[in-house]
Chain A
Amino acid sequence: MAQYLILIYADERDWSALSPEESAAVYAQYEAFGTRNAAAIRGGSELSPTTTATSIRSDEDGAYLVTDGPFVETKEALGGYYLIDVESLDEAIAVAKQVPVGAGGVEVRPLVEHGA
């Protein structure tokens, strides 16, 4: 078995523009996705918007620079993730295709395995 992170990218403005009914409908889709793929899913969550993010970087003196916001401004931002455990990339893609991401997209990244 192999583990993958499914990274969900979407436009945050689209998400925040939804009415309560519309966002409830999207949550229902995600819930259905979670139920359908429960055997593969090991974890996951929606992330709060990038406006709530804090970036931390250390300089060469070892001092930390803590700033508000993400490192880069892009149209599509990481909005959530799933950790899945499946047989191979083909199965991971089959699960990722079902993520109800709408106009956004998902990225599938294998986790590095250290030892067995």
Chain B
Amino acid sequence: MPGSAVRDALAEAHRHEWAFVLAAAVRVTRDLDLAEECVQDAYAKAVVAWSEQGVPARPGAWLTTAARNRAVDLIRRESIARRSLPLLIVESAASIGHDLDEDIFGDDRLRLIFTCCHPTLSAPARVALTLRLVCGVTTAEIARSFLVSDPTMAARITRAKKKIAAAHIPYRIPAADELPARTDAVLDVIHQLFTTGHTAPTGAQLVRNDLTTQALDLARMLRALLPGNREVIGLLALILLSVARADERLAPDGTLKLLADQDRTRWDAGAIAEGTALVRESLRDGPPGRYALLAAINAVHDEAPAWEDTDWPQIVGLYDHLLRIWPTPVVELNRAVAIRFAYGPAAGLVALDRLADDPRLATYPYLAATRADCFRDLGRHTEARPLYEQAILLTGNDVERAFLKERLQQLSR
């Protein structure tokens, strides 16, 4: 049984070094499954070695060396069997068996991330593969996060890995002309992880902290690997500024706490300070991207000392901007919400009317809920009632459903 210092060091190394160790092992194995085996073996060896000899000064380097040695070993033993397997296309061939110097391999995490988020993989596969290979989350945990069975998730991950090998999805950083689009695909995966965690689409929990934490770690990693990218900075800011409020989104009895009712002194001031500084950086030197704008909207909320102080006209302006570069019905709905608070429920309804028949929002609970809120504020309770009922039917999240039922009951008959 390892001591607590070793356990903490292992947990820390799992959270922060997994991608680094795996990416380095892939260089040697050119096979994702084999590389995973080597990384698991390295972490298992660390439990014993660190307990006996103490935690090394650089746990990541220790694990990388252990995983690579194991990889070289396995490849020598299996070299004949491996000849028939399709191998990953790695930019320059790894010098197997030679001096395993750190510099030969460098940091391959970007290659790993871009491979997991390759556009020829299905969107759910990209998310699952990123969690599995970049974050080191077990298949069972990923299955739980996305509310599918273990075999379903295992099959999804296996299928994706097979496609990478058989179709020769290259293990490399995309060429300069492809880089912006491919980076956007990576940001999409992280954003999807974050939004799934921020308000779980189904289930009993409102927030899935495991997923928001993974999204935050990934955004931090990407920020370190692509330091100049303003949308990466914007996404990191967005996640920080949202996570800062996460603990206040639920009342002690587990019911939903609206922004208006939250105790702002309990928001995470450190995350807000870091997030707002990043927002400024992401808005500098050029037209802002979608994540920078979303982050800026969250910064306006986070910086208001009280709900009444919220600068709603500025938020409307930011949504106007966002709608121009990202014209989706969900953005338009959020803009209408801002209009409701900036200029009153009647103005909000006018903005919402344009969306009422949009088929893309037909199953989206927030449209009905927002229209219901506007009617309620205007005292038009008979019009609000069926809309709350509709929203209750559409939401899959138990906490949100309880909140909407409460609202419905409060309407006068």
Chain A interface residues toward B at CB < 8 A? 2, 87-90, 92-93, 108, 110, 112-116
Q: Write out the residue numbers on chain A whose beta carbons fall within 8 Å of the beta carbon of B168.
A: 2, 87-89, 92, 110
A113 lies within 8 A of B170 (CB): no
A110 lies within 8 A of B167 (CB): yes
- How many A-B pairs have beta carbons closer than 8 Å: the answer is 33
In the bound complex, how far is the Cα of B83 from the Cα of A116, in angstroms?
6
In the bound complex, how far is the Cα of B169 from the Cα of A85, in angstroms?
14
Contact A110-B166, Cβ < 8 Å, known A87-B89, A93-B120:
yes
B83 lies within 8 A of A115 (CB): yes
A87 lies within 8 A of B166 (CB): no
Distance in Å from the Cβ of A55 to the closest Cβ of chain B?
28
A89 lies within 8 A of B86 (CB): no
Q: Write out the residue numbers on chain B whose beta carbons fall within 8 Å of the beta carbon of A90.
A: 169-170, 174, 178
Distance in Å from the Cβ of A63 to the closest Cβ of chain B?
35
Q: Does B84 contact A (CB under 8 A)?
A: yes
Q: Write out the residue numbers on chain B whose beta carbons fall within 8 Å of the beta carbon of A88.
A: 89, 168-170
In the bound complex, how far is the Cα of B166 from the Cα of A58, in angstroms?
30
Which of A92, A108, A116 is the one whose CB lies under 8 Å from B84?
A116
Q: Write out the residue numbers on chain B whose beta carbons fall within 8 Å of the beta carbon of A110.
A: 166-168
User: Of residues 117 to 159 in B, which have CB atoms within 8 Å of A's CB atoms?
Assistant: 118, 120
Chain B, Cβ-Cβ closest to A88: B170
User: Of residues 275 to 326 in B, which have CB atoms within 8 Å of A's CB atoms?
Assistant: none
Q: Which of B83, B118, B166, B169 has the most chain A CB within a 10 Å cutoff?
A: B166
A-B residue pairs in contact (CB < 8 Å), sample of 12: A87-B89, A87-B168, A88-B89, A88-B170, A89-B120, A89-B167, A90-B178, A93-B120, A108-B167, A110-B167, A112-B166, A114-B84
User: Of residues 310 to 366 in B, which have CB atoms within 8 Å of A's CB atoms?
Assistant: none
User: Of residues 75 to 89 in B, which have CB atoms within 8 Å of A's CB atoms?
Assistant: 83-84, 86, 89
Distance in Å from the Cβ of B97 to the closest Cβ of chain A?
19
Q: Write out the residue numbers on chain B whose beta carbons fall within 8 Å of the beta carbon of A87.
A: 89, 168, 170
Distance in Å from the Cβ of A92 to the closest Cβ of chain B?
8
Contact A113-B86, Cβ < 8 Å, known A89-B120, A93-B120:
yes
B84 lies within 8 A of A115 (CB): yes
Q: Write out the residue numbers on chain A whose beta carbons fall within 8 Å of the beta carbon of B84.
A: 114-116
Distance in Å from the Cβ of B392 to the closest Cβ of chain A?
42
**CB-CB nearest 9 A-B residue pairs:** A88-B170, A2-B168, A110-B167, A88-B89, A88-B168, A89-B167, A89-B169, A116-B83, A89-B168
In the bound complex, how far is the Cα of B222 from the Cα of A37, in angstroms?
35
Q: Write out the residue numbers on chain A whose beta carbons fall within 8 Å of the beta carbon of B89.
A: 2, 87-88
Q: Write out the residue numbers on chain B whose beta carbons fall within 8 Å of the beta carbon of A92.
A: 168
Distance in Å from the Cβ of B137 to the closest Cβ of chain A?
26
Render B157-178 as a binary contact track against A, CB cut-off 8 A, 1 for contact: 0000000001111100010001
Q: Write out the residue numbers on chain A whose beta carbons fall within 8 Å of the beta carbon of B178.
A: 90
